Amino acid sequence: MFKPEPSNYLLLADISNESKPTNFWNNHVWTAEELGLKITPGSSETKLYFHKIKPAGLVSWIKKFIFYRTSHNAFSTVAGDLKGIKAFGLFLSKSLPNLININQINEEIITNYYLYLRQQNYQPGLIKKYLLALKIFLDTGNGQNWFNIPCQFISNWIRTADKEIKQIPKFIPDDILRQLNQHFEFLPDPVQRMVLVIQECGLRVSELVSLKFNCLQQDSTGGWFLNFIRSKIKKEDVIPISNELAGVIKAQQDYIRNVFAKKYQYLFCGSERYFKKREVHDFIAKPQIMPSQRFNDYLNWLSKKFNICDSSGVIWHFHSHQFRHTVGTRMINNNVPHHIIQRYLGHSSPTMTSVYAYIMDTTLKKEINDYHNKVVNIAGEVIKSKFPELDNSTDLQWMKKQILGEVLPNGYCALPADFTCSKGNACLQCGDFRTSLEFLDKHKKQRERTLQVLKAAKANNWQRQVQINEEVLKSLNNIINELEQD
């Protein structure tokens, strides 16, 4: 059984009848594995540490509480609880070193703790986390009849912290992004690519660091999609991405293949070394997922080195989640409908999902179905995607149109992601051009114009013009004939 420290004996919890063996309770380090909990990808925390808890007698209560929490919560949640309750212990040991019984904790002590947190000039977010952890600890103990300590009033302070949090902008202002993009070439290449992915897609950092090597998918029009696991709901999802970003991901795939051949299954990796003499040292790839915090460290290193400051001259502190808010804010400013933003960012709200489903079913489904009925190239050949589910997903195609817009006025460009067009946009003579039924009228009008131009070119004996326009006419005939077959 857990060994008490005599001076704090009355503060001890009875943990002798719990299901784990004595050495488990005596141990001051618990691993996620022995608790049967999974670690979120990219998380560097895999253990819970109990050594430095003060007052020492509080350790048994915290262990009892944390063990109780592990039965219903993720490891990261429990680790957060532990940090919060440790902060309370630190306060108790400083302000009430002689406290010997947990039931001595009362409203006055808890109020003093709140005032202490505020005096530390902590961010409202941190204050809220600490208060929540304490409230959960006390609610659990009261509910389980471990002790009886009033704690309802803590909710008011949590609400106050919440209001303060809402007043702090969570997105990254344009000026900060401009400064980031101005200097980000000083980051290692793989980290630069991580920044580009998170800037466009607003992934959670755990989703970013654990992207699979084969995360790119393409529909029949050549549009690119990112496939990944939503870390909160542990489900696979797909979102449309720009051609430029697909190019960035291809470059990262080449990097990973060059470094690890086929032995590594993720798109991004960690580095052997990180900082040397306060500089970001060369990135020495190691076949492991990068810890989430390391990604923030890179950005904050850049922020300090190049003095990336907000409008009041304060150095900007990056946090990966700010990119998520930035993407959401940018979409709202670009008038992307609310339900599309929810779908894109993977917010799980049944109400919003049903609104979305209603709109899709009643007004847009037909349009989208027509649009993806058939995709052809300039030879009139029907193009099939390796991922037909992308073509057939009304949701995804609608989202792609909403977010990325149309690339060409009469169709799509299926140029590989790491190439730029060098054909002077002569799409109707290009093997990478794709089009579909929704552009049929445009093709017919262009055929009429081409016939007129061809007639004039022939009359004037403009050989080059005749040749070009005959090629264009041939492509248009192929396209129109194939599309009209339906």
Binding interface with ligand SF4 (CB under 6 A): 413, 415, 421, 423, 425-427, 430, 432-433
Q: CA angle, 42 as apex, 39 and 46 as ends, to 5°?
A: 40
| Cβ burial, residue 320 (10 Å; 0-12/13-18/19+) | buried
Query: In whole angstroms, how close is the CB of 433 to ligand SF4 at the nearest point?
Result: 4
For this structure, is 20 an active site residue? Answer: no
Query: In whole angstroms, how close is the CB of 435 to ligand SF4 at the nearest point?
Result: 10
Query: In whole angstroms, how close is the CB of 375 to ligand SF4 at the nearest point?
Result: 13
Query: In whole angstroms, how close is the CB of 297 to ligand SF4 at the nearest point?
Result: 39
The pairs formed by 305-314 with CB atoms below 8 angstroms and a separation of 24 or more are 305/183, 305/186, 306/179, 306/182, 306/183, 306/186, 308/176, 308/179, 308/180, 308/183, 309/179, 310/173, 310/175, 310/176, 311/173, 311/175
Q: Indicate which residue of 347, 423, 445, 449 is catalytic.
A: 347
Which residue's CB is nearer to ligand SF4, number 427 or number 480? 427
Q: Indicate which residue of 69, 193, 204, 339 is catalytic.
A: 204
DSSP lists the bridge partners of residue 230 as 235
CB 81 within 8 A of CB 69: yes
Which residue's CB is nearer to ligand SF4, number 118 or number 401? 401
| Residue among 349, 355, 438 nearest 397 (CA) | 438
Rounded-to-integer distance, Cα 263 and Cα 163, Å: 48
Q: And the tokens for 131?
A: 């208060």
For this structure, is 281 an active site residue? Answer: no
Which residue's CB is nearer to ligand SF4, number 426 or number 456? 426
Rounded-to-integer distance, Cα 315 and Cα 318, Å: 9
| Cβ burial, residue 218 (10 Å; 0-12/13-18/19+) | middle
Q: Indicate which residue of 118, 286, 321, 447 is catalytic.
A: 321
Which residue's CB is nearer to ligand SF4, number 1 or number 426? 426
Which residue's CB is nearer to ligand SF4, number 256 or number 472? 472
Query: In whole angstroms, how close is the CB of 274 to ligand SF4 at the nearest point?
Result: 40
Which residue's CB is nearer to ligand SF4, number 141 or number 240? 240
Q: Which H/E stretch holds residue 434? A: strand 433-436
End-to-end CA distance of the chain: 78
Q: Which residues contact 369 (CB under 8 A, 6 or more apart)?
A: 394
Query: Pairing mode, if any, of strands 285-286 and 216-218?
Result: unpaired
CB 224 within 8 A of CB 218: yes
Which residue's CB is nearer to ligand SF4, number 18 or number 432? 432
For this structure, is 116 an active site residue? Answer: no
| Cβ burial, residue 325 (10 Å; 0-12/13-18/19+) | middle
CB 267 within 8 A of CB 215: yes
Q: Indicate which residue of 130, 298, 344, 356 is catalytic.
A: 356
For this structure, is 69 an active site residue? Answer: no
Query: In whole angstroms, how close is the CB of 392 to ligand SF4 at the nearest point?
Result: 23
Which residue's CB is nearer to ligand SF4, number 29 or number 426? 426
CB 193 within 8 A of CB 249: yes
Q: Indicate which residue of 69, 86, 129, 324 is catalytic.
A: 324
For this structure, is 264 an active site residue? Answer: no
Cα–Cα distances (Å) from 333 to 318, 329, 340, 399, in that order, read 22, 6, 13, 16
Q: Indicate which residue of 232, 317, 319, 330 is catalytic.
A: 232
For this structure, is 51 an active site residue? Answer: no
Residue 364 DSSP code: I
Rounded-to-integer distance, Cα 373 and Cα 384, Å: 11
The residues annotated as belonging to the active site are: 204, 232, 321, 324, 347, 356
